Amino acid sequence: MEALDIISRWLGKQHVVSYCVANEQDMWCANAFYLYCPQDVAFYFLSDPQTRHGQISSTQTRVAGTVSGQTKNVALIRGVQFKGELRLLDAQEGAPLRERYNRRFPVARMMSAPVWAIQLNELKFTDNTLGFGKKFIWQRQALITQ
């Protein structure tokens, strides 16, 4: 099984992402319930653009973050570190994702926040259940146009 398949299977079972953004003036981190799409290798979530992290992000920015479990036993630690591109989706692009998000998190129907995407460019999954420090690494291949 390839690294991305292993990472995607684990991410599909989780639901909270922590992500950090920065610009020349400020930096901030946030948490969100996410919908993971293995075909896009992306997280989708809702957030108000007027939040501190939303204002820093504007319409697109670089992002880094983590998804992790909460075990107290070091032998059971599992988690993903990532970097990618965060962007605010327009209403048309976000509509079908919003429907999927609402099915996964029904309480989201009460929120008017738009859909954001984190296109993941690099993933590192640490899974100590397979041996201390066992890692799976994936990087998006750059698309070259001529």
- Residue 145 pLDDT greater than 80, yes or no: no
Output the pLDDT for position 13.
Answer: 96
Task: Count Cα atoms within 13 angstroms, Cβ side, for 57.
Answer: 28
From the DSSP assignment, how many helices (H) and strands (E) are in the chain? Answer: 3, 8
For the whole model, what pTM was predicted? 0.91
| Ranges of each domain in the chain | 3-139
Q: What pLDDT, on the 0 to 100 scale, is given for residue 99?
A: 96
Is the pLDDT confidence value at 133 over 60? yes
Residue 142, pLDDT score? 62
**What's the CATH number for 3-139?**
2.30.110.10
146 — pLDDT class (breaks 50, 70, 90): very low
Q: Name the residue among 122, 34, 44, 28 with its Cα closest to residue 83.
A: 122
CA-CA distance, 101 to 97, in Å (whole number)? 6
